[in-house]
Structure 1
Amino acid sequence: MPNKDPTFLQMLYTVISENTTVGGAVMASIIATLRILYDDNKTRPMRIILEALTCGALSLCVTGIIELFHLPTSAAITIGGAIGFIGVTALRDFILKIITNRIDKK
């Protein structure tokens, strides 16, 4: 009798394909990894791993904003890809610039 139990890779594929939140995090991680490798600047393995994980975690955090603005859940993949493309450093600098401008105005 053949074994009908799904393998780990089959279960992983099912989770990624059916859950757009996880798909967005995976997309951010993949794009961040490819961006760092393409950039060919400081391509240490630890930097690649940390950048990919941080971009994935950021895109998971953004899913709350997607629900807040009543956007479709498929937007998680697009936003995750954008976060991976922009990168953690550029995103952090942009947010810090906005915060300091608001503090300086007060």
Structure 2
Amino acid sequence: MKMNNNPHDWPDWIVLFQSWWRGETPIGGVLVSILITLLRVAYTGGGVRKMLLEGALCGALTLTAASCMGLVGLPPAATIALGGAIGFIGVEKVRSVLIRVLNQRLGVSDDDDKPQG
């Protein structure tokens, strides 16, 4: 019996979506991150430019974080949750938290923390 290789069959799409949902490929987390980012920026009154840039940055950050999940002991199934969290929090907040944590760990003072005078 010959295997059906038509990518437009519903069972193939269902298998693809299930693999995304299980975290076998990080694309599910990236898509959730982008979707939540677009909705968050639209809800808070951001423009189309901010929606697209923030969505792309959150998607890229999710892809980067998903590749590090094994290093911190998180299962691949947590990719969707990770993408949702990054999309909801936003790339600016994630950046500020990471900079603060790195500065504390490395003992480096940040120039942004100094009062302007």
Q: TM-score, normalised by structure 1?
A: 0.77
**CA 1:50/1:14 → structure 2, altered by over 3 Å: closer, same or farther?**
farther
Report what 1:32 is aligned to.
37
Query: Distance in 1 between the 2:49 and 2:14 partners?
Result: 26
1:57 has 2:60 as partner: yes
Count the aligned residue pairs.
99
**CA 1:92/1:62 → structure 2, altered by over 3 Å: closer, same or farther?**
same
The 3-state SS of whatever aligns with 1:103 is coil
Query: Distance in 2 between the 1:48 and 1:11 partners?
Result: 31
1:32-56 per-residue CA deviation (whole Å, 9 max, x = no partner) reads 111111111xx22111011011101
Instruction: Give the RMSD, CA atoms, in angstroms.
Output: 2.5
**CA 1:56/1:68 → structure 2, altered by over 3 Å: closer, same or farther?**
same
Q: Give how far 1:25 is off.
A: 0.4
Asked whether the equivalents of residues 33 and 83 of structure 2 are also in contact (C-alpha less than 8 Å), the reply is yes
Asked whether the equivalents of residues 7 and 13 of structure 2 are also in contact (C-alpha less than 8 Å), the reply is no
Matched letter for residue 68 of structure 1: L
Query: Distance in 2 between the 1:66 and 1:13 partners?
Result: 25
> Of the two, which has the highest radius of gyration?
2
More helix by share: 1
1:83 has 2:86 as partner: yes
Could you tell me which runs of 5 or more consecutive residues in structure 1 were left unpaired when the two chains were aligned: none
Asked whether the equivalents of residues 28 and 81 of structure 1 are also in contact (C-alpha less than 8 Å), the reply is yes
How much identity, in percent, do the aligned residues show? 30
Moved over 3 A (4+): 10-17
Report what 1:6 is aligned to.
7
Could you tell me which runs of 5 or more consecutive residues in structure 2 were left unpaired when the two chains were aligned: 110-117
Asked whether the equivalents of residues 40 and 88 of structure 2 are also in contact (C-alpha less than 8 Å), the reply is yes
Asked whether the equivalents of residues 17 and 23 of structure 1 are also in contact (C-alpha less than 8 Å), the reply is no
Report what 1:94 is aligned to.
97
